[in-house]
């Protein structure tokens, strides 16, 4: 099954336990938003799923297609059909956005079939145009050097274009650490909305309660102190917009103290 099932996930940074038994299931076609106050471990979740070496998984599992992705190399996770944002945040002068995307597609195809000869240039051009149109992007963007002098919003666009061309089954996008404003969330949300369909699931991690202005998640989760403490529908994000996080802290203070 192409669903991501995270069970009892415990993750530490330098001997500090940050995630304390997190549970989450994402099925294909579902859009999940994870929200929570700063410092609750939202980015830790994204980094652990991506395989960042500083984040030590001490317990639990993240099963996808019958395998625990936490035991895989970051590349392998991506070849399985999971897209994790910020996999390639570096500027690569001399490599265009188009070249980079073609290399990424070919790496994934080769992982699926070692005999694969790679996507043909006409086929790639068609795919790239189609995806750029879907995201309402100017075609000239593809000819620019990846992340070289990109503004925050352009980096975000490059990332979303990467997601759209790789067509992952599940995408995990962490917005809080991006140091970007609400514009970044808008770009990401439009990308997620454009890709929305039965074969695409996403987890959008965000601090912004206003997410509902941009995206209609099927599920909203509130994270506090390393766990998901509340799950519901979009009404949960509305509640946060009206009341903030204080009621969540009060409700769970006995648990977290």
User: CA 221, 223, 227 angle in degrees (round to 5)?
Assistant: 110
Question: Closest CB to Mg ion among 102 and 221?
Answer: 221
> Which one, 80 or 176, has the nearer CB to Mg ion?
176
Q: In whole angstroms, what is the distance from residue 117 CA to residue 115 CA?
A: 6
Assigned token pair, 226: 């390393």
- Closest to ligand ADP by CB, 29 or 37: 37
Residues of span 164-203 touching Mg ion by CB under 5 A: 176-177
Residue 40 interacts with which of ligand ADP, Mg ion, none, CB < 5 to 8 Å by class: ligand ADP
Closest distance between ligand ADP and the C-beta of residue 226, in Å?
8
Handedness of CA 15, 21, 26, 31 (dihedral sign): negative
Shortest distance, position 78 Cβ to ligand ADP, whole Å: 21
- Estimate to the nearest angstrom the gap between the alpha carbon of 27 and the chain centroid: 14
Should residue 38 be labelled a site residue for ligand ADP when binding is judged by CB under 6 A?
Answer: yes
What's the half-sphere exposure (Cβ side, CA atoms, 13 Å) at 63? 10
Binding track over 104-123 against ligand ADP, x by CB under 6 A: --------------------
Which residues, other chains included, contact 185 with Cβ-Cβ below 8 Å and sequence gap of 6+? 175, 206, 208, 210, 211, 214
**Size of residue set near ligand ADP by CB under 6 A:** 13
Cβ distance to Mg ion smaller for residue 43 or 209: 43
**Pairing between strand 170-174 and 82-84?**
parallel
**Where along the sequence are the contacts to Mg ion (CB under 5 A)?**
42-43, 176-177
**Where along the sequence are the contacts to ligand ADP (CB under 6 A)?**
13-14, 16, 18, 36, 38-44, 176
């Amino acid at each position: 099954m192409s669903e991501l099932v995270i069970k009892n996930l415990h993750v530490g940074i330098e001997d500090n336990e940050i995630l304390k038994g997190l549970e989450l299931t994402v099925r294909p076609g579902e859009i999940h938003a994870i929200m929570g106050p700063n410092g609750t471990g939202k980015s830790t979740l994204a980094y652990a799923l991506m395989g960042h070496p500083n984040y030590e998984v001490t317990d639990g599992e993240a099963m996808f297609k019958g395998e625990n992705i936490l035991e895989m190399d970051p590349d392998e996770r991506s070849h399985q059909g999971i897209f994790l944002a910020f996999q390639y945040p570096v500027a690569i002068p001399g490599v265009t956005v188009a070249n980079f995307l073609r290399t990424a597609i070919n790496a994934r195809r080769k992982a699926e079939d070692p005999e694969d000869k790679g996507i043909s240039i006409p086929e790639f051009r068609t795919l790239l145009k189609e995806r750029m149109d879907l995201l309402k992007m100017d075609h000239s963007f593809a000819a620019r050097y990846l992340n070289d002098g990109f503004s925050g919003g352009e980096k975000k666009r490059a990332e979303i274009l990467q997601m759209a061309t790789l067509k992952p089954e599940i995408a995990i996008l962490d917005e809080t650490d991006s140091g970007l404003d609400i514009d970044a969330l808008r770009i990401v949300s439009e990308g997620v909305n454009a890709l929305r369909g039965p074969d695409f699931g996403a987890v959008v991690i965000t601090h912004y309660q206003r997410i509902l202005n941009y995206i209609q998640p099927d599920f909203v989760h509130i994270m506090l102190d390393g766990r998901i403490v509340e799950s519901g529908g979009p009404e949960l994000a509305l509640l946060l917009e009206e009341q903030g996080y204080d009621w969540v802290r009060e409700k769970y203070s006995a648990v977290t103290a």
